[in-house]
Each structure stands twice: as structure tokens, then as C-alpha cells.
Amino acid sequence: MKDYVKVNKKVYDRVAEQYERKSAIFKRDYNAIMKPFQERLTKKFGKGASVICVGCGTGRDMRSFANKGFDLYGIDVSRNMAKIAERNVPEAKIMVGDFLTKRFSRKFDGVSMTAFVHLFPKRDERLIIKKVASILVPGGYCIMTTAMHSKPKEGYAQKRRYRNVSAKRFRRFWTTDEFVNSVKNVEGLELVDFYLKKTTKKWRETWMILTFRKIR
């Protein structure tokens, strides 16, 4: 496991309960973000299409997939985040492990990877996208999100908005061009959708939401 993954694993283990409470405010936003993606998957693969949530956290997005009858999987490196996800989405099959090193014995129709890529340095961007491509069936879709930033930056920094915990984790700030190009630069993938969405006033961020397809 890479050093920054070890650090992030510890941080998410520590903040899991707080994360669960905070992420609830985005439930409605993320239900709306997932709806067209879920419709796309159902149209292409039928009801019960298989989906894996990568960095599933405490299961906010998985709940929305489970409500719609998807065959649902999740993976998270933090045991404490995964435990809460199991509580929230008992029907999902959740694995605890590092996505980058995990060997998957099957492929999926869809991958959902929300608020995940910014936990990796730029130098590993291709590793993540290629790993996603390797677990998608041909024609399968991936949705990914991260916050928009005007200048790229990365390093260890205290996770904001968390009280009474030391939570220094690895974080990368992505620009729009970088985010879109991360997919465009990989052969066999096609960008199918990209848009921006403002978060609640309280958080004052803009999210980038990107969907790509594995062509073959």
C-alpha cells in the first residue's frame, strides 16, 4: 500500500462517524447527480445492473443505488467507514481494501467514484483511471466527482471542518482541464458527460461531475 493511502486510511478511520453526519447534507444533491447515471446503466444493461462504489465511504451513494435494485458492491480502505456503510446498506457486498492493489475476480457494468480521485497525487491519476477501466465491462460507465479548483496543488493538509481530530490527509486540488484530460488521455475510454454543480452555500464549493464509457 502506498504511504499516502496508509495515511488517508487512518484519517478516515478516525473521522468515520463525523463523516457520516456531515455527508448527509449532500444526500439530495447526490441523489440528483446519480439519477441520470443510474438511468444510463439501466437502459444499457437492464434492471439489476452491477455497480461498484469505489471509496464507498459510509454508503450515501450506495443507498441510492440499492433503492433502485442495482446489484451492488463497494470497496473502501477504511474499516470504520465500511462498517457504517454496511449498517446503512446491508444489501451491498462491501470489501475492505485498497482499490489500487485489490484483485477483482469480476467486472462491473458501472463504477461510481465520488469524492475519491482527489485523495491521489497527479502522478497516480492514470493508475486509477486504468484500474477502473480494467474492472468495467465493454460499454460500461464510470461516474466520478471532485471539487473544482482554479490552480493545481497537492500535499498533506488538515481535513477541514472536522472537530477534535488530527486529520492530516493527502489531498489534490484538480482543475477542470486536468479532470477532463485524465479520461481523454486514456485509450479505449470516451467522455460522455461533464458538468459543474454548486454545493450548498455552507460549503461554498463547485463540484465537477464526469461520466465516461469504456469503449472496448
Name the site residues for ligand SAM (rule: CB under 6 A). Answer: 5, 8, 12, 23, 55-57, 60-61, 75-78, 81, 98-100, 114-116, 119
CB of 179 to ligand SAM, least distance (A): 16
Closer to ligand SAM by Cβ: residue 47 or 161: 161
Torsion of CA 179, 180, 181, 186, to 10 degrees: 100
Helix, strand, coil tally for the chain in percent (to 5): 40, 30, 30
Closer to ligand SAM by Cβ: residue 124 or 193: 124
Closer to ligand SAM by Cβ: residue 68 or 118: 118
The DSSP symbol for 105 reads S
CB of 65 to ligand SAM, least distance (A): 12
Q: Where are the alpha helices (DSSP H) in the chain?
A: 3-23, 27-45, 60-67, 79-88, 125-135, 176-184
Closer to ligand SAM by Cβ: residue 57 or 110: 57
Nearest residue to ligand SAM, scored by beta-carbon proximity: 57
Contact 50, 71 (CB under 8 A): yes
